[in-house]
Structure 1
Amino acid sequence: MGNAVVLGEALIDLLEAEVGGEQIYRQAIGGAPLNVAVGAARLGSPVEYAGTLSTDVLGDRIAAFLAEAGVGATGVRRVDVPTTLAVTTFEGAEPAFTFYGEPPSYALLSPDDLDPRALAGADVLYTGSICLLREPFRATARQAWAGFGGVRVFDPNVRPRLLPDDAALNALRELVEEFFATADLVKLSSADAQLLYGDSDPAAAADRIRALGAGTVVVTCGARGAHVAAADGAAMLPAPAVDAIDATGAGDSVMGALVHRLLTAGRPAGLAGWQEYVRYALAVAGLVCERQGGATAMPTPSELAARWPAL
């Protein structure tokens, strides 16, 4: 089995909830890249997380959680700024995020902080998400991405509340398309596609991204499943029926599961192999949606087998 380096943000989600008729916020460790790292590690893959964590008590909790999940931390640098908070509200099971903390504790990794040996020894590199909106992280991700010789996977993870106007959206589109062009795998949601291209049609988004140069594109569509487009064709795969209570981290669990399959079985030769990987990933995401919290909801192989015996 190979190993992966996950490059991106870790933060604290404050999840809106109601207890005894009172509105409260439940603390949960999150950040899309952290969720991906934990998701792949919980499934049994060796993963190194590279990013910045605060020196405060919340940063300590994130560091301890990564260790407990079995995620390597050789790429972590501690920074003396407060941990960024993502206040999370819900419409049904779908979360919306508002971010607090300046400068963001998650985006302070510099190019000099990268471990060349860890990158050279990795088979998969993941980056993406909101950390790319800020320097020095953006320069760090570009450097790691450009010099990487393995499988490069990317998720834009667009957050509209961090895009104040059309100029910011246009700049983000240009940035993520830079990474799309050389990615072996792009995973995005239909909501991401709507924000980036004004069209939530997953097939159109996948075709557009593949035309830029991406190898395979997976567009998740919530309860409808996912569209996968490879060099030799495309298909829409249904999601398993679940009793969803919290979709936080569901898309990240898809990416974590895909990273895990890439590490255990390699890059598929064509659409048939990618369909098998995506079916597996949708089962992982279905189980995540039946549990509360993002990173804490990521399942182990035994939990997956108990929920989906035929998988």
Structure 2
Amino acid sequence: MEKQGVISLGEAFVDYISTDSTNTKFRQLLGGATVNLAVGTSRLGLPAYYLCKLGTDSNGQFVEQKLKKEGVNLAFSVRSDTKRMCGVYVHLTESGERNFHSYINHTPEEILREDELRSDVFEKTRIFYFGSGTLFQQKSKETTKAALEYANEFSNLIAFDANLRLKRWESEGHCRRTVVSFLKHATIVKLAEDELNFLMETNSLEAGLEKILKWDIPYLFITMGGKGACAVMNGTTVFSPAPKVDTIDTTGAGDAFMAGLLYCFHEKGMPAGKTELTEYLQFANRVGAQATTKIGSLTSRIDFMELKKHFEK
């Protein structure tokens, strides 16, 4: 049986996103980087599996219903009557940039445990994806390590997106040390430009790229907002400008970029050279740009069929 699909491990959120730059009225939406990735890959036509602990209260039901509506498989997630879904308030600047204002987590100990993971989902899938959201707390970090062991056992392609939220960490140093220690586990790593400089303790893209070389990351992707993105493979760096769109809200753009990227790796495998790497980067850029055209990380309905046709050419 051919392995198909993408696993996303994480914590589902209810996003409270400001409707404008006054930050006085908020819209309730499904959110969380790993949720965005699961939905993004599902919308692109890939089997998507989400691993998390879900609550059974109204917010938990809201999250579960939304994910099922998006075609995300929750068969390997766990339900808990005492779990309360996490929330995050997202403020907007006048230019549409997001600001993660505050987090709400009433049940921090209610997380997916390593003994609640099931190996059969790793056996049937092609890609395992994780981020730093399961690394700042010890129990969830152990779950992530166990998931990585399964991913390696069943030869999953491993993808990591930092998605740093420093307010969740006890210190910048703890965040930096922990995240950097997990870079070695991934074949595909995606960082925003500011995350690269934070992790490498540099102040320019060039310096950050030079310093991260010692980790020998097979496929490294750096997003640079409106400037576009770059990719590094075997010492070769390629750049792709950002497509021109009417940006309203950048929430989830990086997650959409990553979903586009994983679609490329899932469907066409490892890029053989500079030409293919550039094609992957351009496709991910298009998917990421479209995600900025409406408020919320999952509200923009991208014409995936049109994008896929362009990519397949």
Asked whether the two chains share a fold, i.e. TM above 0.5, the reply is yes
The 10-residue stretch of structure 1 (204-213 or 45-54) with the greater mean CA deviation from structure 2: 204-213
Deviation of 1:13 (Å): 0.7
1:260 alignment counterpart: 263
Deviation of 1:190 (Å): 1.1
The SS at the match of 2:138 is coil
The 10-residue stretch of structure 1 (241-250 or 128-137) with the greater mean CA deviation from structure 2: 128-137
The 10-residue stretch of structure 1 (269-278 or 40-49) with the greater mean CA deviation from structure 2: 269-278
Equivalences for residues 220-235 of structure 1 within 5 A: 220-235=223-238
Note if 1:121 corresponds to 2:127.
no
Asked if the contact 1:218/1:226 (under 8 Å) is kept, the reply is yes
Asked if the contact 1:203/1:227 (under 8 Å) is kept, the reply is no
Deviation of 1:298 (Å): 5.6
1:95 alignment counterpart: 98
2:220 alignment counterpart: 217
1:245-285 Cα deviation digits (max 9, x unpaired): 00000000011111111111112123332211110010011
Distance 2:85 2:11 in 1: 11
Deviation of 1:129 (Å): 2.9
The SS at the match of 2:281 is helix
Deviation of 1:291 (Å): 1.7
Asked if the contact 1:193/1:200 (under 8 Å) is kept, the reply is no
Q: 1 or 2, which has the higher strand percentage? A: 1
Change (3 A) 1:298 1:213: farther
The 10-residue stretch of structure 1 (52-61 or 209-218) with the greater mean CA deviation from structure 2: 209-218
- Among all aligned residue pairs of Structure 1 and Structure 2, give the percentage whose two residues are the same amino acid: 27
Note if 1:155 corresponds to 2:156.
no
Letter in 1 for 2:84: P
The 10-residue stretch of structure 1 (200-209 or 211-220) with the greater mean CA deviation from structure 2: 200-209
The 10-residue stretch of structure 1 (175-184 or 241-250) with the greater mean CA deviation from structure 2: 175-184
Note if 1:49 corresponds to 2:53.
no
Letter in 2 for 1:271: K
Asked if the contact 1:249/1:295 (under 8 Å) is kept, the reply is yes
1:194 alignment counterpart: 197
Deviation of 1:125 (Å): 0.5
Deviation of 1:36 (Å): 0.5
Change (3 A) 1:284 1:53: same
1:61 alignment counterpart: 62
Distance 1:155 1:40 in 2: 14
1:191-221 Cα deviation digits (max 9, x unpaired): 2123323435334334433421321110100
Deviation of 1:309 (Å): 11
Distance 1:195 1:173 in 2: 8
Distance 1:227 1:22 in 2: 33
1:104 alignment counterpart: 108
Greater relative contact order (Cα < 8 A, sep 6+): 1
Change (3 A) 1:120 1:180: same
Asked if the contact 1:6/1:36 (under 8 Å) is kept, the reply is yes
The SS at the match of 2:145 is helix
Deviation of 1:183 (Å): 1.0
Deviation of 1:225 (Å): 0.3
Distance 1:229 1:305 in 2: 23
Change (3 A) 1:82 1:28: same
Asked if the contact 1:42/1:300 (under 8 Å) is kept, the reply is no
Asked if the contact 1:288/1:297 (under 8 Å) is kept, the reply is yes
1:180 alignment counterpart: 183
Distance 2:36 2:236 in 1: 29
2:73 alignment counterpart: 72
The 10-residue stretch of structure 1 (112-121 or 291-300) with the greater mean CA deviation from structure 2: 291-300
Q: What is the root-mean-square deviation in Å for CA atoms of aligned residues?
A: 2.4
Asked if the contact 2:279/2:311 (under 8 Å) is kept, the reply is no
Deviation of 1:185 (Å): 0.5
Change (3 A) 1:71 1:300: farther
Unaligned runs of 5+ in 2: none
Asked if the contact 1:8/1:34 (under 8 Å) is kept, the reply is yes
Distance 1:207 1:7 in 2: 30
Asked if the contact 1:210/1:217 (under 8 Å) is kept, the reply is no
